[in-house]
Amino acid sequence: MDQEENAKITSSFESLSRESKELYLHSCVSETEVEPTALQFMKKCVSPNLPLIIREGCKYWPATSKWSHEYLRSVIGNKFVTVAVTPNGYADAIREGQFVLPEERKIKFSDFLDIIENPDKTNGVYYVQKQDSSLVKEFQEIAEDVPKEIVFASLALEKKPDAINFWMGDKRAVTSMHKDPFENIYGVIKGHKDFILIPPTDLPWIPYKTVPQAVYKETTGQFEIVSLEDSDPIPWIDIDPLNPDVEKYPKFKNAHMLRCRVHAGDLLYLPSMWFHHVRQTQGCIAVNYWYDMDYDIKYAYYTMLETLCTGKPPEDYIEPL
Amino acid sequence: MDQEENAKITSSFESLSRESKELYLHSCVSETEVEPTALQFMKKCVSPNLPLIIREGCKYWPATSKWSHEYLRSVIGNKFVTVAVTPNGYADAIREGQFVLPEERKIKFSDFLDIIENPDKTNGVYYVQKQDSSLVKEFQEIAEDVPKEIVFASLALEKKPDAINFWMGDKRAVTSMHKDPFENIYGVIKGHKDFILIPPTDLPWIPYKTVPQAVYKETTGQFEIVSLEDSDPIPWIDIDPLNPDVEKYPKFKNAHMLRCRVHAGDLLYLPSMWFHHVRQTQGCIAVNYWYDMDYDIKYAYYTMLETLCTGKPPEDYIEPL
């Protein structure tokens, strides 16, 4: 490669990293104990694309006091709900050179609670994590226990949530590093969640790999990885931030990892396009609100960065099957 | 240059241009007849870095009805004020391979009004254009006729204006294409101004040239260009958007030029880092409010773009002397 041009690109990535750190990124996720107004949320969070924890932001939602296992058994115990099952907790992650989806099963919610209460008695790791507005679609009987929208966010963004999702699962279940084109408000109802966040400006340091898609299938007590022959290969992040292979990907050391713990009763604003990796305590329950992001100047700049990293103009996102 | 790397940079500039046009830029400057709230201003203008004309936004300022030549003569006619004088109307522009500053003179405001009323009787083009909060420093007797701040902007940006400037001048005076690190609210009091605006994402198409600094000096009725020997060379835009030399700079055709006319009584929000070129009617009066910009993710991306264009990380701005 031509050294002059190569140096320009490297230098531009370094400028972005340095200016991001010096100008707009903080060394940790900002916190507040007072719910922001719509204007504050727009000015301090959405416009600069910066995360915020609102301590006790969902403490007084009915769900936070009501959603015991007993209550959930009594109200929705007999319902069949969609559960993601994997051998190791890694759904939607690269395994053996493939992007492996979890096995989706429909089981009674009371059976799911039995598994969460006694995880060692069952083969596999169970996680309710369907992201198709699952709270409204699959858990409508308890949807009234949380607000229909986050008012300061709806006012700021001038829209209603696009989806509200219900999350509950095993402490071994890990959401692998990825990003979403949504402004995300995450409310933890029970337990706590640990987030690792990396800003979109760190894209040059994040290793992507385009891999074929596959899915876990449990047969005779063993999990197999089954290729999805008709699916398109998908670009996914090939690094575990908990144990990064910096021999293979030395540039990952340049990424600005922000870690935060979101406790029961707290809200996290997770800005659009931020890379995030999530873990939780056993039986942790959360509800998140996705608001469609605005495709504005920040996104236009991001596409430039993506083109520089990949050498190709961005295509429409290939969604996992 | 290596073709692959060169192609990456070119492709990234094209992505940025295309996505900017498709996603966030409009084909003309948005207009409203209703003053935005602070939240609307933040959401629709500052966050996406988009200009807005507020028609009749300063129609009811006392200045709009009071500032006749008679009134100004009676209140500040005897004051000495700073006037920029050039032979041709081009102050702070590249001329004969130099960045040429105007000759600054202190003259009585009534003499300046005489010249504006009879521009052909005087050698040179006169423009009151000092940008050091001149309204407050040099025109304090009439400063009460406009608001001390633009309330929706101060609330949105959570700060007071950094400077308020008074502008009045000859129709031949042109503000050459440049950008400022300020959120800018421009109120036209008399006459009208014609703006050409180009978004910061078009930086790759805008030709910069680093040139030595000089200043106009009129001696014995002739304007000379006098080099400023002790000054640093300054990077400035080497194109006239009214008559662009596209033979010399063919890429300039890619720039998205938005044109707008701001009439007496209108406000223009001119976002930080947008390139702008300004002309006006004879004797046009305007007042503008500069708010310090936030150096956020958008600015970090801009520095990346600048590094790609120049091959060097951005240095502190070299201000004209």
pLDDT at A312: 72
pLDDT at A314: 62
Cβ contact B298–A301 (<8 Å): yes
Nearest residue of chain B to residue A298 (CA atoms): B298
Residue B125 Cα distances to B109, B139, B202, B247, B285, angstroms: 15, 21, 31, 30, 15
Give me the sheet containing B103-108, strands edge to edge: B30-32, B52-54, B267-270, B182-190, B284-292, B163-169, B125-128, B80-86, B103-108
DSSP B79-118: -EEEEEEESSSEESEEETTEEEEPEEEEEEHHHHHHHHHS
Nearest residue of chain A to residue B310 (CA atoms): A8
Question: What's the pLDDT tens digit per position in A201-215?
Answer: 999 999 999 999 999
Per-residue pLDDT for chain B (321 aa), expressed as one digit of tens each?
455 657 889 889 988 998 899 888 988 999 999 999 999 999 999 999 999 999 999 999 999 999 999 999 999 999 999 999 999 999 999 999 999 999 999 999 999 999 999 999 999 999 999 999 999 999 999 999 999 999 999 999 999 999 999 999 999 999 999 999 999 999 999 999 999 999 999 999 999 999 999 999 998 889 999 999 999 999 999 999 999 999 999 999 999 999 999 999 999 999 999 999 999 999 999 999 999 999 999 999 999 999 999 877 665 444 444
Nearest CB neighbour to B48, from listed A5, A19, A294:
A294
pLDDT at A315: 57
Task: Report the DSSP pairing between strands A284-292 and A275-280.
Answer: unpaired
Contacts of B157 in chain A (CB under 8 A): 43
Contacts of B49 in chain A (CB under 8 A): 296-297
Question: What's the pLDDT tens digit per position in B67-88?
Answer: 999 999 999 999 999 999 999 9
Cβ contact A47–B49 (<8 Å): no
Q: What is the CATH number of the domain that holds A48?
A: 2.60.120.10
Stretch among A16-30, A184-198, B135-149 having the lowest mean pLDDT: A16-30
Q: Which of B304, B305, B309, B312 to mutate to test the interface with A (most CBs of A within 10 A)?
A: B304
Cβ contact B23–A298 (<8 Å): no
Cβ contact A20–B314 (<8 Å): no
Contacts of B295 in chain A (CB under 8 A): 19, 23-24
Nearest CB neighbour to A5, from listed B1, B295, B302:
B1
B153 within some domain: yes
Question: What's the pLDDT tens digit per position in A232-271?
Answer: 999 999 999 999 999 999 999 999 999 999 999 999 999 9
Nearest CB neighbour to A300, from listed B19, B304, B312:
B19
Contacts of B14 in chain A (CB under 8 A): 307, 313
A223 within some domain: no
Nearest residue of chain A to residue B298 (CA atoms): A298
Cβ contact B307–A20 (<8 Å): no
Is residue A5's pLDDT more than 70?
A: no
Cβ contact B299–A23 (<8 Å): yes
Degrees to nearest 5, angle at CA B299 with B297 and B300:
60
pLDDT at A316: 46
Residue A13 Cα distances to A16, A225, B2, B235, B303, angstroms: 5, 37, 19, 23, 10
A29 within some domain: yes
Please state the pTM of the whole predicted model: 0.93
Cβ contact B11–A313 (<8 Å): yes
Task: State how far residue A163 is from chain B, nearest Cα, in angstroms.
Answer: 22
Contacts of B311 in chain A (CB under 8 A): 4, 7-8, 11
With bands split at pLDDT 50, 70 and 90, how would you rate the model's confidence at A1? very low
Nearest CB neighbour to A15, from listed B7, B16, B307:
B307
A97 within some domain: no
Mean pLDDT, chain A, whole residue set:
94
pLDDT at B212: 96
Number of domains composing chain A:
1
Rg (CA), chain B: 20
Cβ contact B43–A157 (<8 Å): yes
ipTM for the whole predicted complex goes beyond 0.85: yes
Question: What's the pLDDT tens digit per position in A117-163?
Answer: 999 999 999 999 999 999 999 999 999 999 999 999 999 999 999 99
A155 within some domain: yes
B160 within some domain: yes
Cβ contact A311–B15 (<8 Å): no
Nearest CB neighbour to B8, from listed A4, A9, A200:
A9
A149 within some domain: yes
pLDDT at B161: 98
B303 within some domain: yes
Write the CB contacts of A170 (distance below 8 Å, at least 6 apart in sequence). Answer: A89, A115, A116, A119, A125, A126, A127, A282, A283
Question: What's the pLDDT tens digit per position in A75-125?
Answer: 999 999 999 999 999 999 999 999 999 999 999 999 999 999 999 999 999
Cβ contact B304–A300 (<8 Å): no
pLDDT at B316: 46
The domain of B129 spans 3-310
